[in-house]
Amino acid sequence: MIRKIIRIDDNKCNGCGACAAACHEGAIGMIEGKARLLRDDYCDGLGDCLPVCPTGAISFVEREAAAYDEHAVQANMQKRRQLNAAGGCPGSRMQRLQPVQQVASSGTVQAASQLGQWPCQIKLVPVNAPYFAGAKLLIAADCSAYAYARMHDEFMRGKITLIGCPKLDNTDYSDKLTQIIQNNDIRSVTIVRMEVPCCGGLEMAAKKALQASGKFIPWQVVTISVDGKILE
């Protein structure tokens, strides 16, 4: 059927998530840091999401779409209530972490995780997350934490960590990294990559984002060998 339904302009969306929070039917979700219309039959066409969007990314169009399904919406809302009661999905719930050192019963200090936030995957992190305010940013290859034994203490401590693998994700991170750097008060950027050629995509995306942001931010690139050494 032809009916009125929302349209989200991907270029204007800044990933704030306000529209998803305002949509009582659950028709809008955040995917890879962008708002998406998840299902046509969840959208009632009333537009509660329009006035909360700070960038004007949402508008109405008339197009072929499935009819609004109130029963499907009610079932989805019930699932969401059950999930929230259980604490929500840890894979998507944004959290600010406070790393602390752990002291064993012998009095010796044990190593503790220095991950400062969740999620940490570049594809999952919201571009306007509050923990980016005044952050020192670490953009690291997935494999680097496994190859370099002191990754947490030497690189992650005191930073917001974003990880990715351009080969496995088969994507260019530069657009999203540009938005993160442009829209937030990023103090510095450290790029930690592996020596393998495919990791060049991560370094290139970060450099491209720094340049496209128009900001002058201190940055450095550190390369780790496959046997766990820092290469000069």
Instruction: Using a pLDDT cut of 70, give the percent of the chain over it.
Output: 87
The reported pTM is 0.61
Instruction: Using a pLDDT cut of 90, give the percent of the chain over it.
Output: 55
Based on the domain organization, do 54 and 116 belong to the same domain?
A: no
Based on the domain organization, do 117 and 80 belong to the same domain?
A: no
Residue 44's domain is classified under what CATH number?
A: 3.30.70.20
Residue 81 is assigned to a structural domain of this protein: yes
Based on the domain organization, do 65 and 7 belong to the same domain?
A: yes
Residue 86: predicted pLDDT:
47
Residue 179 exposed, middle or buried by CB count within 10 Å (0-12, 13-18, 19+) = buried
Based on the domain organization, do 75 and 118 belong to the same domain?
A: no
As a whole number of angstroms, the distance between CA 133 and CA 16 comes to 14
Based on the domain organization, do 134 and 25 belong to the same domain?
A: no
Region 1-28: what's the mean pLDDT? Answer: 88
31 phi, psi to nearest 5 deg:
-125, 120
Specify whether the CB–CB gap between 57 and 83 falls below 8 A. no
Domain-ending residue, one of 28, 55, 85: 85
Based on the domain organization, do 106 and 79 belong to the same domain?
A: no
Based on the domain organization, do 99 and 49 belong to the same domain?
A: no
Higher pLDDT, 192 or 198: 192
Average pLDDT value for the chain: 87
Residue 167 is assigned to a structural domain of this protein: yes
Give the residue numbers spanning the domain of 64: 2-85
Task: For residue 121, give Cα distances in angstroms to 30, 81, 194, 207.
Answer: 14, 26, 17, 18
Q: Which of the residue ranges 8-12, 123-127, 189-193 would you say has the lowest mean pLDDT?
A: 123-127
Q: Which of the residue ranges 1-5, 78-82, 192-196 would you say has the lowest mean pLDDT?
A: 78-82
Based on the domain organization, do 145 and 223 belong to the same domain?
A: yes
Q: What is the pLDDT of residues 37-96, one digit of tens each?
A: 999 999 998 888 988 898 899 999 999 999 999 888 888 777 766 655 444 555 556 667
Residue 100: predicted pLDDT:
60
Based on the domain organization, do 114 and 203 belong to the same domain?
A: yes
Higher pLDDT, 125 or 80: 125
- With 70 as the cut, is the pLDDT of residue 33 above it? yes
Based on the domain organization, do 161 and 207 belong to the same domain?
A: yes
44's tokens: 């009632």
112's tokens: 């503790």
As a whole number of angstroms, the distance between CA 168 and CA 110 comes to 33
Residue 90 is assigned to a structural domain of this protein: no
Residue 149's pLDDT band (cuts 50, 70, 90): very high
